[in-house]
A and B are shown apart, each in its own frame.
Chain A
């Protein structure tokens, strides 16, 4: 091989690596915009490819540098092949092939071939060796990638290509031609974006790592995209939850109707609002509301806790916290308090005036979302495999609960004991509501006018008396039962389902719920013995999570240590 030919191959390697390195650096802003880790990967790759060039020129005979060269050229082509199969970190589906891809992959391929031709007398052997080494190196890159993804976050299952393509398909974005890649979807991002998003990324990153500490067997809750959970928001939410200044007249807090020792219910049939108005419905437990596909007793449109908390804050029929009309006064109580200045600025660091009610709702929702209970004797038995956690009697009750005779699980099924459940892997969001035959005022299934269930929202006759099946976790702590607290004990609840509807003989509410035409087909009644009833109650009591009701993460932050405040 003449010197001239050698120089030609060397030159080709340099040009190809330079080109590939430059293209990789150029696409960093775009990838950074959808996922910082992916952008960082391209930045490191581009820089390595560029920095490689002088080393290659100064140490032309160095073996390790050759292997690195193969990895940075052929290896990257192989890695790209993997991304097309959708098995790499950051991407779970084939990425679109655009001009940037074609240029960089072509450059790397040619660079790889040039490297072989320049140094290796046995071309074919060198080429196959190249691939061998490249695959090993790619394996390491993948491992590092997955680790990065796991550490600083990725979107498994999600693929940024869709977002990118959305922009690409948007007619307004077409026609941008200020980059060397015609029609390229990476066009609209520059390094200025990277700098600003890197700053805000680093600012939030240090705060966003929220450790759920989920109980074994529990899926990750779904968190709304516009309210990522942070420890700071949770702290702010916890303070607001226990603070009576969050009511119009300063007499009531969320915690007034949601006591931790009662699994965040209140033990009353129906609670009283800040102005003395009686609420028509029973206070619901907040246990595991993070997994509820709809919130409250019977509102099909309330899909997030963020939306739900606005109801007690601003509702007028009935008045609960009673903030409507008092917004400025309430806002200023927190704005002028040094503790809350600190809490708000930590929870919403990028906002100048964070004291608006959207943020109150976001913080309260974040706190409520952390109230996850999954350490009852039932969980210890089923998920933690502690065979001594349930007694023989409780196990008999569990068997009855899951039986096809009692049909409990058709509405109270799943890990959270309600089919009204959603989590991060859910595709089909199920939002069931049922009429259980609690009332039948007119023989056609009517419920009392202040508690008509889903009918209140849809005005459809078939929705009369339909309510959501709440979780049965901590059920022993949340008496009295049903949406209006009209059944006092668990034993009586079982009697009610055993009969298949409630018969009220006298008075304004008289009627036989068993005969309601609107009653669910799963509430048909059953026959059990007294012993079986006791077993079933024993099982329901085994759903109580003692740790949850004592967990200091959910306790009153204003209470003096050791004293639980009511």
Chain B
């Protein structure tokens, strides 16, 4: 406790000297307003409008977090380095608790907070990327600290990470039973499969999310699976460049499946929105 107090005091002291302040950015996960949980059924989000879905996994990486002040300056948020949920400018948000349907790949601990330090004040917008930056996306994942060594988030296919892993199970049969959404960079050229790419991936697939009129202290960033899926055909999309389900889904991330880039600044994304902070069901434990 004492070392914690001392380090907090030191951080505050440094912060006071540089006009820096500590921020705790709250995230939450919902399905159209209902808190997301592993043991609940949600209905009415597919194109037929009557399939029941249940969440098996709901985790995503964010990076390059910035706040924009009233002078339109982008101020980077320096993340606290805990090597559990946060490493470099990357944070893992984890809304599965390893229970119920989430048992197969999940872990018990959850995380809904991103902690960091930012200079200045009067912030009005928040910007972040849904993904892992290229320089950390293709590292040897046993040689880096957590959260980059979480096995279930590593994507051996492209020797990178799954930026977002939303695994769902439905009450349908056969090829509609599982509905897996894995977002990640594709077209990564390497000497061979199983090796880090030697140049940038053809399709980055990292959406940049901007939320305006954002109050750092009072607002929460909601990842809403309901609005992401609304009216979609049930079908697994693992970012495959020719996958018809991805073609429908990618604009919901603000992305073009063809180019892997944002369409019009990713403004069309439907996954994230802000909401005034209310007492939360999720905590960082």
Contact = CB atoms under 8 A, between A and B. Distances in A.
Interface of A: 84, 93-98, 157, 159, 161-162, 165, 168-169, 217-219, 378, 381-382, 387, 390, 395, 398-399, 401-404, 409, 413-415, 419, 421, 423, 425-430, 432-434, 462, 520-521, 524
21 contacts: A94-B10, A165-B3, A382-B195, A399-B193, A404-B157, A413-B154, A414-B141, A419-B105, A419-B151, A419-B152, A425-B143, A427-B84, A427-B146, A427-B150, A428-B109, A428-B150, A430-B105, A432-B152, A433-B104, A524-B175, A524-B178
A532 B79 CA distance: 46
Contacts of B141: 414
A531 B141 CA distance: 32
B133 to A, nearest CB: 20
Given A425-B145, A428-B107, A409 B157 contact: yes
Contact of A165 (B2, B103, B154): B2
Contacts, number: 109
Given A425-B142, A521-B169, A165 B1 contact: yes
A467 B42 CA distance: 29
Classify the interface of chain A: helix, strand, loop or mixed.
loop
B255 to A, nearest CB: 18
Interface string B121-144: 000000000000000000011111
Contacts of B104: 432-434, 520
B192 A395 contact: yes
Classify the interface of chain B: helix, strand, loop or mixed.
loop
A96 B3 contact: yes
Contacts of B180: 521
Interface of B: 1-3, 6-7, 10, 56, 83-84, 103-105, 107, 109, 140-147, 149-152, 154, 156-157, 167, 169, 175, 177-178, 180, 191-195, 238, 240
A241 B211 CA distance: 62
A409 B156 contact: yes
Nearest to A466: B104
B195 A84 contact: no
A427 B193 contact: no
A518 to B, nearest CB: 11
Contacts of A415: 142
Contacts of A218: 142
Nearest to A426: B149
B157 to A, nearest CB: 5
A73 B251 CA distance: 64
Contacts of A98: 2
Contacts of B192: 381-382, 390, 395, 398-399
A426 B56 CA distance: 22
Contacts of A159: 3
Contacts of A425: 142-146, 149
A402 B156 CA distance: 6
Nearest to B8: A94
Contacts of A403: 157
